[in-house]
């Protein structure tokens, strides 16, 4: 296994439409930021997926979320963090653990990674943060 898999501590799938726990104020704020960013992509024809993940991301650890992506679609993974002074980093990996080249955006507690897979299959969205733990929310859009 690749080294980044050794820091894996949570794997969830998108698209269930399930919120795993009642949202607290931090999760609500992070979710709002992620929605705002994802909404900007909808102006370019992207559809927002109804599922999302929210939870605490700790410095020095990666939160990894498994997603199934389809070739010839375009995707944007949008993340918001409860504390706007924090930067969350969104990265994408293929099933072998190889980091993928993405288009990226980062500003005021929001971050996004855009990707168009050449083959369908399972991919991994990685969230990381520096300095101190923060509540993050991530969702994705596609077209």
Highest mean pLDDT among 1-10, 22-31, 71-80: 71-80
Residue with the bigger pLDDT between 114 and 43: it is: 114
Mean pLDDT on 107-135? 92
The SS3 of residue 137 is strand
pLDDT at 99: 95
CB 62 within 8 A of CB 27: no
pLDDT at 130: 85
Residue 105's H or E segment, with its range, is strand 103-107
Q: Which domain holds residue 138?
A: 3-142
What CATH code is carried by the domain that includes residue 10? 2.60.120.380
Average pLDDT, the chain: 82
Question: What is the pTM for the complete model shown?
Answer: 0.79
pLDDT tens track for 50-105: 778 888 999 888 899 999 999 989 999 999 998 776 788 999 999 999 999 999 99
Number of domains in the chain: 1
Q: Please tell me the distance from the alpha carbon of residue 48 to that of residue 95, in angstroms, as a whole number.
A: 24
């Amino acid at each position: 296994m690749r080294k980044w898999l050794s820091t894996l501590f949570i794997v969830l799938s998108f698209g269930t439409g399930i919120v795993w726990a009642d949202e607290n104020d931090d999760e609500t704020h992070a979710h709002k930021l992620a929605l705002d960013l994802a909404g900007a992509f909808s102006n370019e024809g992207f559809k927002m997926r109804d599922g999302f993940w929210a939870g605490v991301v700790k410095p020095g650890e990666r939160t990894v979320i498994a997603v199934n992506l389809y070739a010839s679609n375009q995707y944007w993974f949008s993340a918001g963090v409860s504390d706007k002074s924090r930067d969350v980093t969104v990265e994408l990996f293929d099933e072998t653990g190889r980091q993928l080249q993405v288009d990226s955006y980062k500003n005021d507690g929001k971050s996004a990674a855009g990707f168009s897979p050449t083959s369908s299959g399972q991919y991994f969205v990685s969230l990381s943060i520096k300095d101190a733990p923060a509540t993050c929310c991530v969702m994705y859009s596609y077209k």
